[in-house]
Amino acid sequence: MRQSFKIILIWGMILFIYFVSLSLFSTSTSPFSAHINQLVQSLLFIISIFILLKEPNRRNRFIFLNFAIFFSLSLVSLGYDFIHRDFFIQKYSRHIYLQYVSIAYISLNSFAVVYLVIDLLFREFKVYQKYLCTALIIGAATLLVFYPYFSNPKHLYETNDIKQYKTLDDFVQSHRSDIGSSGLDIALQVTLKSWSDGHEVAELLPEENLKRIQSLMPYLEKDNWRILLWAPLYRQTIYIEVLIIGFILLFFGYQYKKDPPQGAYIDKIMFLILLLSSMNIIHNWGFIKSVEWESMTELFTVGQYITVFAELMMVLFFALRLKFISSVHGEFYETEIAVHPEKVSRWRDWVDNLVLAQFFNYKLFNGRLFQDPSGK
């Protein structure tokens, strides 16, 4: 049985089980684009496993092991659609599940990227040394950014914004018939407090209190408060995305300066991760700056389809990688990289030829990132 058929068969089984379960058990209101995104990532997970099993270069096996672990989260994230009162009674189950899956997603994504870059920079390191360096970098960054979520699972419900919103919302709901609709009317009757780690710090001064009430007023409408709830997590996710982009730029900078041999299509995969991380920053920043939950979800849906397109391109290059290492010349090339890297030039494919011909100065870049395998 051809491996492409095996991949499609396994993915088809996942799709069948998921959609049948969705129709029978789920009350999910997630956008269709979010489902597509998760299912494309599940396809990437399957291809990563096949690459891992076929990989002739031991160094690269660990690279795709990290990708396989990262994309396996797509299967975990599918479980979010089935968390409701039929299965979990706890009030915050869906919130906590999504919160920690989101943290795991960005953490494992950054781990896969940083390990790949360290593998490139320090080829002579042993595998455990590369993992140790990566774990120290990502562990420190994750703890620094997400520690409040580990110490308190309901951290987002105890931020300054949410505490002030709840105070304002409770007052408006209980005095709706007695007060005017302007921020000034409300500010004359309620004084907000500043909060830190769920603890009251001090009351706001009158001028600051008025400004704060006016800024919170739009979030009293419908489900707009959800933006205030999730904004801190989206903001902190941006920090890790910036870390990812920094390491990817280091990857390409080192490739340009030193021109080391690298596994076929890995640079394309890194470029697509760079694109995805950049888009994630834009999406997250747009979420933070939104005021209306309904319009934000519409933008989220559009952003998801853009992400899906980039992930489909990643599926293409993962599949090309699998096809390449499954061929005789691909296996030979990857083995030579592992044994005699100094004698091997970088593999150049049709994408390289197209980019080099259309967008770059051939004389400048030929031999830097775009080495002709024919040696001409």
Q: In the prediction, which pLDDT does 101 show?
A: 95
Is residue 216 within 8 Å of residue 156, measured between CB atoms?
Answer: no
- Which residue in the block uniquely carries the two structure tokens 């919103």? 165
- Which residue in the block uniquely carries the two structure tokens 């960005």? 106
> Within 13 Å, how many C-alpha atoms sit on residue 43's CB side?
22
What is the C-alpha separation between 346 and 189, in angstroms, rounded?
70
Q: In the prediction, which pLDDT does 346 show?
A: 64
CA-based nearest residue to 268, from 320, 325, 227, 327 = 320
User: In tens digits, what is the pLDDT along the chain, a chain of 376 residues?
Assistant: 688 899 999 999 999 998 888 887 766 667 778 889 999 999 999 999 999 999 888 889 999 999 999 999 999 988 887 776 545 546 788 889 999 999 999 999 999 999 999 999 998 899 999 999 999 999 999 999 999 999 999 999 999 999 999 999 888 888 765 555 667 778 778 889 999 887 888 888 988 989 998 899 889 888 899 999 999 999 999 999 999 999 999 999 998 887 777 788 898 999 999 999 999 999 999 889 888 888 888 888 888 888 999 999 999 999 999 999 988 887 887 787 767 666 666 666 667 666 656 655 555 555 444 444 444 4
The model's pTM is 0.87
Helix (H, G, I), strand (E, B) or coil at 366: strand
Q: In the prediction, which pLDDT does 350 show?
A: 66
Q: Which amino acid is at 104?
A: A
- Residue 334, both tokens: 């990857």
Q: In the prediction, which pLDDT does 235 show?
A: 95
CA-based nearest residue to 220, from 293, 142, 297 = 293
What residues have CB less than 8 Å from 18, skipping those under 6 apart?
A: 39, 78
Looking at 156-291, list the stretches that DSSP marks H as alpha helix, in order from N- to C-terminal side: 160-174, 183-187, 206-216, 225-258, 266-289
Domain boundaries, the chain: 3-150+238-326, 160-220
DSSP state of 257: H
What is the C-alpha separation between 21 and 82, in angstroms, rounded?
9
Kindly tell me the sign of the dihedral angle through the C-alpha atoms of 78, 80, 83, 88.
positive
What is the C-alpha separation between 207 and 211, in angstroms, rounded?
6
Q: Which fold has domain 3-150+238-326?
A: Rhopdopsin 7-helix transmembrane proteins (1.20.1070)
The DSSP line for 78-143 is HGGGG-STTT---TTHHHHHHHHHHHHHHHHHHHHHHHHHHHHHTTTS-HHHHHHHHHHHHHHHHH
Is residue 335 within 8 Å of residue 56, measured between CB atoms?
Answer: yes
What is the C-alpha separation between 307 and 33, in angstroms, rounded?
9
